[in-house]
Amino acid sequence: MDHLYFFLTGLTLFFTFLIFATIFYFMIKYRRRSEQERPPATQQSLPLEISWIAIPSLICVFLFLWGASLFFAAARPPQGAMEIFVVGKQWMWHLQHPEGQREINQLHIPVDVPVRLTMTSEDVIHDFFVPAFRMKMDVLPGRYTSEWFQATKPGSYHLFCAQYCGTLHSGMTGTIEVMTPTDYAQWLRDNASTRSMAESGQELFTRLGCDTCHLADGSGAGPVLQGRFGKQVTLRDGQNLAMDEAYTRQAILDPASLPLPNYRPVMPTFRGQVSEEQILQLIAYIKSLGSGERTQVP
Amino acid sequence: MSTAIAEVPVESRMHYLNASYGIKSWLFTTDHKRIALLYLGSITLMFFIGGAAAVMMRLHLIEPAGALVQPETYNKLFTMHGVIMVFFFLVPSIPATLGNFLVPMMIGARDLAFPRLNLLSWYVYITGGAITLYALISGGVDTGWTFYAPLSTHYVTTHVIATSLGVFINGFSSILTGLNFIVTIHKMRAPGMTWKRMPLFLWSMYATSVIFVLATPVIAIAMVLIGAERLLHVGIFDPAIGGDPVLFQHLFWFYSHPVVYIMILPGMGVVSELVTCFAKKKPFGYIFIAYSSLAIAMISFFVWGHHMFVSSQSVYAGFIFSALSFAVAIPSAIKVFNWTATLYKGSISYQAPMLYALGFIGLFTMGGLTGLFLASLATDVHLHDTYFVIAHFHYIMVGGAVMAYLGGIHFWWPKITGRLYHDGWARLAALVIFVGFNLTFFPQYMLGYLGMPRRYAVYPAEFQVLNVLSSAGASILGMGYLIPFVYLLWSIRYGPVAGSNPWGAKGLEWETPSPPPTDNFEETPRITEEPYGYAEPEHAHV
Ligand SMILES: [Cu+2]
Ligand SMILES: [Cu+2]
């Protein structure tokens, strides 16, 4: 990204200089010497017009491709990235590690490991911005967005909320602590939480009575959730969807919108009963029940 | 004493300023020139209110912890600054003042097609402005001028509805002005004034009017929806009941990107006139400059998504919007190159309007090129919503649009008032503004690259040096804007009489006396030659 940035800076300087220099040159060379002076008629030049349309166009095509390819790469997190869950609310960041450690306005991560954030907001739109990682992404209510980065040097870096979110927007800041692998392991141990996210999710799953319908042996009123995460789901109207975080969230908050064939729509909505953080824990639990692609929560 | 003698001819001749007297003759006028002055007065007021908010913000940001106000107040200040400057100053600036004054004159008409509609549009503007000012004074709004949902619809407790109502109403004045210009340019051109004989300013006015008419309804809808959501909880933007907060951003930017071109196209039109006049040259590539205005107007409708690359919009949508945003840069580049080439072998003089025009070209070039950083997907991810963006669009809107506006005001001031201002002071002001501007906004590019987000009432200490520089620049810039205000007003009373064509400019408006008679021309002009005949021998003026 920085290469592109400096290339653009160079380009800007070059053209600014070109225009300024030409103008100054003309300004001096052709300054009005007498009031009676009558300059020659303007000559038009089609080749000149075409060349200054074509050259910038080519440069733009090149810049577009460069920027777009970097963007495309940045939009795809690598397989097996470490996961962090982020909930933004006016005006703080709640972060949770799969192992259960919770942090507020602070995130500890190991160096050289790709980290993928799954983010949502309890209220308005925020934006998780870490200038040092050249990364930012809006954090929306009612939706999951994600971003990923890989820190290359241990240290503390600014975390900013970049989307204006009300009175204390500028206070919605924090730090990303990038640690060496050993320091990070130490930190995890020092802050060991009694429960991993999946375990908290499991506790909720029982407390909210999900387990009365979603039984492992398929005898309940709801579908078996074991081994289901990440698989394709076919809805009653024939629509095919992948069961991902967003799907699961919607299934919990608005089950009627995702009717399955062969099941009676008896699942109640849990809107208002679970917070965004608890939904993330439930999802972690459902993920831990085995998935189509990857299992990562112990 | 000489001025007193010179005054006589002006006073004895009938023109639009002395045709009638009294407040009523102004409030009920349908003369496009008087309406232009009504607008001039009102937008100047708005400019100074919006400017005062900016000065307070810059003062506040001298210290990392905030030197002046609470974050709440700071948020209200930048909202007020944005709302007033965008909707009530920049959008009407050139079209409603110079456009109103010049569109009929430049095509040889006596007035706009619908003079009463024109007056109505001013009243609509005043109503919208009054409501908005009321909202801002009676407690303020803190949504930012972008009114993003669901913050604006469900969370803030300030005067959102009144403000959005003001913006909504004001939109109609843009639409009316746009309609009026389009019809006038189509229908009221004097005999012989073919499209390709029109001054470039008119091409840009025409392109601007198209955007006025097509884009403004969308912001009106967005504002209505905000109100509906707040009052009735219809749920369009509320995810809790199936709404989509991002939809608001689409609606908002569908207007607010084209609006950038509403601000800059007229400026480009003004600069095209100034450069040709002060270089005594026909424009290089007239037809390219003219059509690039239309191209800009067209493409500008399809780039709004570049404000939303990180809004959760799909990656592929990002590709398309990025490509189109690069495309819209081309017509602007064409203009810059053509203006530069126009200077070639010219006879260039450096009176104040030309200084503003050259300032415009330089600052616009920088603003435009830095736009490429934001059109490019990968760099935008980093720079989006940082001070880089602030710097970029101020280079376009203040370095570009406001410079051109001032250049235009200085250029046509003798025509409007019949008096000359002091050129030395005017040049000094242009210089002060140029320096102050760069000192204010150049450091902001750096702040943005270093990662300082916009709309921050407090910020980490490492950004202080650049912020202080920027604030210092802002105080110079503020002074710079006050100087013209003083000497222009002064000139109305004490300035020397201008004569019909003080710059030796071409164009119909210069062939009628200054100030023009109420009907603009003694008799309808006939146009027999191409515009900008600077190379042809001087012919006698009326
Ligand atoms: Cu924020
Ligand atoms: Cu835009």
Contact A1 B379 (CB under 8 A): yes
pTM across the whole model: 0.89
Check residue B460 and report its DSSP letter: -
Mean pLDDT of B254-268: 92
Tell me phi and psi for residue A116, to 5 degrees: -115, 130
- Quick one: pLDDT at residue B390? 94
Has residue B508 been placed in a domain? yes
Q: For the segment A129-154, what is each residue's pLDDT rounded down to a tens digit?
A: 999 998 899 999 888 898 899 999 99
| Terminal alpha carbon distance of chain B | 26
Which SS3 state, helix, strand or coil, does residue B348 take? strand
CA distance A268 to chain B (A): 16
Q: Which one of B226, B326, B376 would you mutate to disrupt binding with A, by most A Cβ within 10 Å of its Cβ? A: B376
How do beta strands A106-110 and A174-179 pair? Answer: parallel
Ordered alpha helix ranges (H), B61-159: 71-83, 93-94, 100-106, 115-137
- A280 Cα to the center of ligand 1, angstroms: 22
Give the Cα separation of B139 and B133 in Å (integer).
Answer: 10
**CB contact B250 to A (< 8 Å):** no
Span B113-134, average pLDDT: 94
Judge whether B2 lies within some domain.
Answer: no
Q: Which residues of chain A have pLDDT under 50?
A: 292-298
B23: nearest Cα among B38, B12, B33, B10: B38
For A245, residues 6+ apart whose C-beta sits below 8 A from its C-beta are: A118, A144, A283
**Dihedral angle of Cα B33, B36, B42, B48, to the nearest 10 degrees:** -110
CB nearest to A39's CB, from B281, B323, B372: B281
Task: Please tell me which residue of chain A has the smallest CA distance to B155.
Answer: A124
* Strand-strand pairing, A126-130 and A106-110: unpaired
Q: What is the pLDDT of residues B446-468, one digit of tens each?
A: 999 999 999 999 999 999 999 99
CB-based contact A170 B456, cutoff 8 Å: yes
Please spell the DSSP secondary structure of chain A, one letter per residue: -HHHHHHHHHHHHHHHHHHHHHHHHHHHHTB---TT--PPPPPP-HHHHHHHHHHHHHHHHHHHHHHHHHHHHHHSPPTTPEEEEEEEETTEEEEE-TTS-EEESEEEEETTSEEEEEEEESSS-EEEEEGGGTEEEEE-BTS-EEEEEE--S-EEEEEEE-S--STTGGG--EEEEEE-HHHHHHHHHHT--SS-HHHHHHHHHHHTTGGGT--TTS-SSS---TTTBTSEEE-TTS-EEE--HHHHHHHHH-GGGSPPTTS-S-PPP-TTTS-HHHHHHHHHHHHHT-BSS-----
Please spell the DSSP secondary structure of B415-435, one letter per residue. HHHSB---HHHHHHHHHHHHH
- Strands A92-96, A102-104: pairing kind: antiparallel
Please tell me which residue of chain A has the smallest CA distance to B462.
Answer: A158
| Residue of chain A nearest B386, judged by CA positions | A162
Q: Above 70 in pLDDT, residue B8?
A: no
- The reported pLDDT for the residue numbered A287 is 85
Is B234 part of a structural domain of the chain? yes
CATH number for the domain that contains residue B334? 1.20.210.10
Q: What is the distance between the alpha carbons of residues B333 and B136, in angstroms, rounded to a whole number?
A: 38
Instruction: State how beta strands A174-179 and A102-104 pair.
Output: unpaired
**Predicted local distance difference test score (pLDDT) of residue B15:** 86
Given the DSSP bridges, would you call strands A135-139 and A174-179 parallel, antiparallel or unpaired? Answer: unpaired
What three-state secondary structure class fits B386? Answer: strand
Residue B373 at interface with chain A, using a CB cutoff of 8 Å = yes
For residue B536, what pLDDT is reported? 64
In a domain, B479, yes or no: yes
Question: Do residues A175 and A159 make contact, with C-beta atoms less than 8 angstroms apart?
Answer: yes
For B28-82, the pLDDT digits (tens) are: 999 999 999 999 999 999 999 999 999 999 999 999 998 889 999 999 999 999 9
Domains and CATH numbers, chain A: 82-190 (2.60.40.420), 197-288 (1.10.760.10)
Per the CB < 8 Å rule, is B312 touching A145? yes
Across all residues in chain A, what is the average pLDDT?
85
C-beta atoms of A123 and B346 within 8 A: no
pLDDT > 80? residue B182: yes
Position B353 scores a pLDDT of: 94
| CA–CA separation, B280 and B273 (whole Å) | 10
The pLDDT value recorded for residue B124 is 96
pLDDT confidence of residue A296: 40
pLDDT in tens, B364-380: 999 999 988 888 888 88
Average pLDDT of the residues in B324-341: 90
Residues of A in Cβ contact (< 8 Å) with B146: 164
Q: What is the pLDDT of residue B467?
A: 95
Residue the block writes with tokens 């210089």: B431
At B259, list the tokens.
């609006």
Task: Report every protein residue that has its C-beta within 5 angstroms of ion ligand 1.
Answer: A 126, 161, 165, 169, 172
Whether B57 contacts chain A with CB within 8 A:
no
Give domain status of residue B146, yes or no. Answer: yes
Please check the confidence at residue B505 and state whether its pLDDT lies above 60.
yes
Provide the shortest C-alpha distance from residue A175 to chain B (in Å).
Answer: 12
pLDDT exceeds 50 at position B107: yes
- B382, closest residue in chain A (CA to CA): A134
Is residue B51 in a domain?
yes
Domain-embedded: residue B493: yes
- Distance separating alpha carbons of residues B394 and B260, to the nearest angstrom: 11
Distant-in-sequence, close-in-space partners of B457: CB < 8 Å, separation ≥ 6:
A169, A170, B60, B66, B69, B70, B71, B74, B75
What residue type is B514 in one-letter code?
S
Mean pLDDT of chain B: 89
The bound ligand whose nearest atom lies closest to the alpha carbon of A168 is 1
Q: How far apart are CA A257 and CA A262, in angstroms?
A: 15
Q: Which residues contact B96 (CB under 8 A, 6 or more apart)?
A: B36, B39, B43, B121, B122, B125, B173, B177
Q: Inter-chain contact B457–A170, Cβ cutoff 8 Å?
A: yes
Nearest to A84 by CA among A206, A194, A176: A176
B167 backbone dihedrals φ, ψ, rounded to 5°: -65, -40
Strand-strand pairing, A114-121 and A126-130: unpaired
Tell me the residue range of the domain where B336 lies: 10-532
Chain A positions in Cβ-Cβ contact with residue B288 (cut-off 8 Å):
49
- CA A278/CA B219 separation, integer angstroms: 38
Q: Which of A30, A52, A254 lies nearest to residue B348, judging by beta carbons?
A: A30
**What average pLDDT score do residues B99-120 get?**
93
- The answer to whether the Cβ–Cβ distance between B340 and A22 falls below 8 Å is yes
- Which residues contact residue B465 at a Cβ distance below 8 angstroms, ignoring those fewer than 6 apart? none
Amino acid B51: pLDDT: 94
Give how far A219 is from chain B: nearest CA, Å: 32
Contact A209, A218 (CB under 8 A): no
Residue pair B455/B513 in contact by the 8 Å Cβ criterion? no
| Per-residue pLDDT tens over the stretch B287-328 | 998 899 889 988 988 888 888 888 888 888 888 899 999 998
Cα–Cα separations (whole angstroms), residue B156 to B141, B166, B311, B412 = 8, 18, 21, 44
Tell me the C-alpha distance between B63 and B522, whole Å.
61
Radius of gyration of chain B (CA): 23
B302: Cα separation from own chain's centroid: 21
Chain A partners of B442 at a C-beta cutoff of 8 Å? Answer: none
Residue B2 has pLDDT above 50, yes or no: no
pLDDT band at B174 (very low <50, low <70, confident <90, very high): very high
Chain A: closest CA distance from residue B25 (Å) = 41
Quote the CA–CA distance of B46 and B88 in Å, as a whole number: 7
Q: Which ipTM score applies to this complex?
A: 0.86
SS3 B281: coil
Phi-psi region of A128 (alpha: psi -120 to 50; beta: other; left: phi over 0): beta
CB neighbours of residue B13 within 10 Å: 12
Rounded to whole angstroms, the Cα distance separating B340 from B361 reads 9
Total tally of structural domains belonging to chain B: 1
Using the Cβ of B345 and the Cβ atoms of chain A, whether some distance falls under 8 Å is answered with yes
* DSSP-based three-state secondary structure for B22: coil
Q: How many CB atoms lie within 10 A of CB B383?
A: 25
Q: Specify the DSSP class assigned to residue B496.
A: P
Strand partners, A94: A87, A104
- Residue B538 belongs to some domain of the structure: no
Six-digit token string for B175:
């639409």
